[in-house]
Chain A
Amino acid sequence: MNASSLPIRIVVADDHEVVRTGFAALLDTQDDFTVVGTAADGTDAVRVCREQRPDIVLMDVRMPAMDGIEATRRIAGSAGEAPRILILTTFDLDEYVYDALRAGASGFLLKDVTAEHLFDAVRIVAAGEALLAPTVTRRLISEFARMRPSAQGKAGQPLGSLTARETEVLKLLAEGLSNPEIAARLVVTEETVKTHVSRILAKLGLRDRTQAVVAAYESGLVVPRSRTG
């Protein structure tokens, strides 16, 4: 999606200098990345994003003044082409995952990620792909199961504009399948799946696949399965 000639513009927001400068230095070693700013708290992050218009924000959750999830909500909700946000956490994801995704985050990264994973993650999210590891998807599902035990009732409501085929693609997407996997399942080419996905995103006004997954769960299109089922 992104033009390969232009580097991906990145902002790093973390209240710890070590993380901020460390990640910025790491990212700058890649030719296709450029770190355009850093922020020490949520308020700062919102301001830097407004000024720099980055493609990607690496956002810490625990920050003084304004936490990373609130900052994510403000940045993702800003006018125009909002940056995609990768949440950085030291801890396990359970407690943040739901709030962060609702706030508009596109993926999660642990702070102790290896440099190679970090680079991959940034490229994936910049391309609009979902960055949800199977474990994260599983957590997301159980979180929805806990929070919305009766989501079924509202099924189909906001997704009415999708064709039957697109709905099917969205369902598979929400189960955590990649494009090639969806293509194999539906016996179509990967190109066709990509077309479907971008139509789904356009019709529902979503930023990326992660948000499409959230929308699928929230609308009740996909009902979290209980472990016994």
Chain B
Amino acid sequence: MGRVNHRLGGLSLAVRRIASIPHAPAAATIVLAIIGAAQALAWAASNSTINRQPTGGELEVALMLLSLATTVPLGLLWTQPAIAAAVVTAACGLSLLVFHTLTVAGTAVALVLLYRLGRYGTPQLLAAGLATLFLPLALLGRASPGVHAYTVLLASLGQAMAWAGIALRARAEATEHSAARQVIAGSLLEHAARGERARISRELHDVVAHHISMIAVQAETARLTTPGLPTPGAQRFSSIGDTARTALTEMRRLLGVLREDTGDEPAQPRRPQPRLNQLNELIDEAREAADTTTRLIVRGPPVTLDPGVELAAFRIIQEALTNSRRHAPGAAVDVELHYTPRELRVSVRDNGPGPPVTPQQIGSQPLSHGLLGMRERAAAVGGSLRTGRDSSGGFIVEASLPAIEAALPTSPADDPEIYSGPAEAAG
């Protein structure tokens, strides 16, 4: 099939190349017209010899005209394929009906026009309709066996050419549609990726800005509340504070730019950026929203990690839970945090139907945006993410994030004590 397609492709390419020569259609028409006329004349001559009837030239003239009627309309191939095909079909029919003959040139023109009408003309089904006109001739023909066989061949080849044109056209249109769809899907993904990256970047900057403002607060506090601080020390603290303020001014400008990139975002959040100590809340919410079993499993000794890493882990889990709820409603979900000295392994798996089977299915679902976002999040902190079918058949999202420990806990609430409670209660 592939080879046939390939050969057909090569052939159609060659035909197209010839057809694109400026005067090719006109030349072809003239050549075919001459060949057709010559054959008609030859046939008339031989026929009159056999029958020994005086013809007075009328037969020759009629045959000539009819032969031209079957070939000359080829000139209208590009502009009026429907009219050309109709005229040629009628002339061919007439020739077969009256003279029990048809020139090879006329046959070729009829077939080409029928194909062409099916492939590019309107209405395309007219091609099949015209080809059908040969059918009664083939069935009821009273001509000699040779001519009858020729008529049958013409009737079937005409149908075949017409339908080949129609089928090729349908396939070309389908290919075009799916190509357009892919372009749209691709640019949507690209757009989503850019928005997601801007959001991630904004959130990380947010975390950093917060830390810098902490430096400023502490520098001011130290400057004014340290008992017996000598003047040079006070000046040092003062300049630390100034540096932090300068950095923050730059940060705010940057955040302004990043915010423009995520223009359709909801207003500035009024909550701190989430960290893993809020995971229980998140899982409680998921449990209530989905009304299913959602478990949190913690392995290895939990430590407070860098806020950027914890934010990434939190957002990945959040997105994965949303995905499970959307694509595997009612499925039980296990969220697992595995702390090792080198990395934090996060996995979210459900016992739902698993990932969609074909790539088209993935592309047509908003799911892919979520997956994209999770991947970007993991990459932003130097980690990686994998999604796919779990050993049990459900969907799994697995991320490995570097275990960068937080330099200092920013508030007592950051202690990982939250994991000590039994978080496995099921909804």
Q: Which residues of A contact B (CB under 8 A)?
A: 15-19, 21-23, 25-26, 28-29, 40, 61-64, 67-70, 90-92, 94-96, 110-112, 114-115, 118
Contact = CB atoms under 8 A, between A and B. Distances in A.
Interface stretch (B205-213, B343-351, B354-362, B389-397): B205-213
B220 A96 contact: no
Given A67-B271, A112-B244, A115-B224, A16 B256 contact: no
29 contacts: A16-B210, A17-B410, A18-B218, A18-B410, A18-B411, A19-B217, A21-B221, A22-B221, A23-B217, A25-B224, A25-B225, A26-B220, A26-B224, A29-B225, A40-B411, A62-B269, A64-B271, A64-B278, A67-B271, A70-B270, A90-B213, A92-B252, A95-B267, A110-B213, A111-B213, A111-B216, A112-B213, A112-B241, A112-B245
A107 B217 CA distance: 19
Given A62-B270, A63-B271, A16 B411 contact: yes
Interface residues of B toward A: which range?
20 to 34
Contacts of A26: 220-221, 224-225
List 3 tightest A-B contacts by C-beta distance, closest first.
Answer: A67-B270, A112-B216, A95-B268
Contact of A91 (B218, B255, B267): B255
A15 B272 contact: yes
B223 interface: yes
Contacts of A70: 270
A8 B181 CA distance: 66
A91 B209 contact: yes
A61 B225 contact: no
Contacts of B210: 16, 90
A22 B225 CA distance: 9
B200 to A, nearest CB: 17
B413 interface: yes
Contacts of A115: 220, 223-224
A191 to B, nearest CB: 36
Contact of B214 (A16, A61, A63): A16
B10 to A, nearest CB: 63
B411 A17 contact: yes
A28 to B, nearest CB: 8
Nearest to A98: B267
Nearest to B242: A114
Nearest to A119: B224
